[in-house]
Amino acid sequence: MAERIVVEGGSVVAVDDAGTEHAEGHVVIEGDRIVSVGPGSAPPQDVPVRRIDATGCLVTPGLINTHHHLYQWATRGYAADSTLFEWLTELYPVWARMDAESVHAAASAGLAQLARSGCTTAADHHYVFPREGGDVFGAVVAAAERTGLRLHAVRGSMDRGRSRGGLPPDSVVEDRDAALAATQRAIDDFHDPAPNSRVRVAVGPCSPFSVSAELMREAAELARRNGVRLHTHLAETTDEAEQCRAEFGRTPVEYAEDVGWLGPDVWLAHAVHLSPAEIRALAATGTGAAHCPSSNGRLGAGIAPVRGLLEAGAPVGLGVDGVASNESGGLGEEMRQALLLARATGGPRAMSVREALWLATRGGARCLGREDEIGSLEPGKLADVAVWRLGGLDHTGIADPVAALVLGRLPQVETLLCGGIEVIEQDNVVEELDRASARLRLVEVS
Ligand SMILES: [Zn+2]
């Protein structure tokens, strides 16, 4: 008979539509699914049970990261006081030296840090493919398999180097047809549409200032032919908006609409600079936004209109973004950052602590098209569960466990389950990251 896992003894916050919370509750898991959630201890089970004691803990859905660049773990701390375009200009030549080994080390470390911050599903947007770098995309997928997290691997691309008016040097961009062929290969090799899938592939030309309009259009067609999702950076900075206006006479959102990039299968990283009409356009088309508050702060990009997007009905999730622009790299911390930015600009009711948790779970699931599978603790959903230790100097006495999670210091994750399987920290991750970071630094200065 199949063993069941019983998580009991702690507070349970289900993040379901009814807002179910139990001051003391239980979650029962069989295989990769949740079978029941309820108050108090779990009723006696008629099968063997593995018990996870959550006494003194808060139990939530595993968090969902909607935007990341895992390869950047090996290039943190560059251009620390720069704008996005200055930062990119310094980093592109470093990234051009990466290979599958350094990307695997960086991605393994990045995913380990995400797991420590309660994350069970991560979207990774990889758009740098050095010519001599080997299979860097496969290296990210292998890192997710090693770490045990669910991955949405976005096959990015750039075809607009400096010689074509883009921002990246020509050495890091691909030929358009080659990029599209490699994107199709990535889907064929790795995309798993099954409901309990651990790897899904999305299509992700990088940004208006590094990708041609032709590649944007053709990539969207390719994604829709294959039934996979679409992801790109949009409306991140005023520099980008100015370039879009100068080049196309359009705002970034108008440009996205022109090239087929609004729709329920699209989620956009950042979406900071939006007019009220553009907020309505995202909501009306079901286009999602990956809100990356720390990265937007680090690069001084601005503050996304999250309240407006939520009120309009647009899907909004949270993203860490690449850690070259968010060196701390945890997803849990983004709940606090999102709440503080929202309230600092929109007043004390601009975001509640439960909305911050909702963004990091249900909102993220919606952006990734997986609302039916992940993002809440409900019978039938995948058993992606975070058990947070509340106690010690950090949390003892905080009246509301969700306030402790969002407003307090991020609690330690006691147990993290992804599809009912415990995520265990891997050996050697730090040593591999140290070697990869040093190698990229040395190559850059030589
Ligand atoms: Zn990004």
Query: What's the gap in Å between 165 CA and the centre of ligand 1?
Result: 20
Query: What's the gap in Å between 407 CA and the centre of ligand 1?
Result: 25
Query: What's the gap in Å between 46 CA and the centre of ligand 1?
Result: 48
Q: Decide: 95 and 430 in contact? Cβ < 8 Å.
A: no
Separation CA 56–CA 226 (nearest Å): 46
User: Tokens 């100015």 appear where?
Assistant: 242
Query: What's the gap in Å between 68 CA and the centre of ligand 1?
Result: 6
Tell me: the pLDDT tens digits for 107-128? 999 999 999 999 999 999 999 9
Query: What's the gap in Å between 44 CA and the centre of ligand 1?
Result: 47
Query: What's the gap in Å between 215 CA and the centre of ligand 1?
Result: 18
Query: What's the gap in Å between 1 CA and the centre of ligand 1?
Result: 45
How much is the pLDDT for 386?
98
Query: What's the gap in Å between 277 CA and the centre of ligand 1?
Result: 24
Query: What's the gap in Å between 322 CA and the centre of ligand 1?
Result: 6
Q: pLDDT exceeding 90 applies to what percent of the chain?
A: 93
pLDDT, mean over the chain: 96
CATH H superfamily, domain 63-367: Metal-dependent hydrolases (3.20.20.140)
How much is the pLDDT for 441?
87
SS3 label, residue 398: coil
Fold of the domain built from segment(s) 4-61+376-422: Urease, subunit C; domain 1 (2.30.40)
Tell me: the pLDDT tens digits for 280-329? 999 999 999 999 999 999 999 999 999 999 999 999 999 999 988 899 89
Where helices occur in 379-428 by DSSP H, the ranges are: 392-395, 401-407
Q: How many CB atoms lie within 10 A of CB 199?
A: 16
Q: Is the pTM of this model over 0.95?
A: yes
Q: How many CB atoms lie within 10 A of CB 50?
A: 11
How far from chain centre, in Å, is Cα 365?
A: 10
Query: What's the gap in Å between 69 CA and the centre of ligand 1?
Result: 6
Q: Which own/partner contact pairs does 139-144 have at CB distance under 8 Å and 24+ positions apart?
A: 139/100, 139/101, 139/103, 139/104, 139/107, 140/70, 140/71, 140/103, 140/104, 140/107, 141/190, 141/199, 142/104, 143/70, 143/103, 143/104, 143/107, 143/108, 143/110, 143/111, 144/107, 144/111, 144/198, 144/199
Separation CA 260–CA 258 (nearest Å): 6
Separation CA 359–CA 71 (nearest Å): 24
What DSSP string runs through 88-136? HHHHHHHHTT--HHHHHHHHHHHHHHHHHTTEEEEEEEE----TTS--H
SS3 label, residue 14: coil
How much is the pLDDT for 362?
98
393 has a pLDDT exceeding 50: yes
What average pLDDT does range 410-419 have in this prediction? 98
Q: Poorest-confidence range of 75-79, 138-142, 219-223, 300-304?
A: 75-79
Tell me: the pLDDT tens digits for 352-371? 999 999 999 999 999 999 99
How much is the pLDDT for 446?
44
Query: What's the gap in Å between 127 CA and the centre of ligand 1?
Result: 10
Buried b (16+ CB within 10 A) or exposed e, 316-345: bbbbbbbbbbbeebbbbbbbbbbbbbbeee
Domain ranges within the chain, ordered by starting residue: 4-61+376-422, 63-367
Q: Decide: 257 and 234 in contact? Cβ < 8 Å.
A: no
Amino acid identity, position 32 = D
Query: What's the gap in Å between 308 CA and the centre of ligand 1?
Result: 22
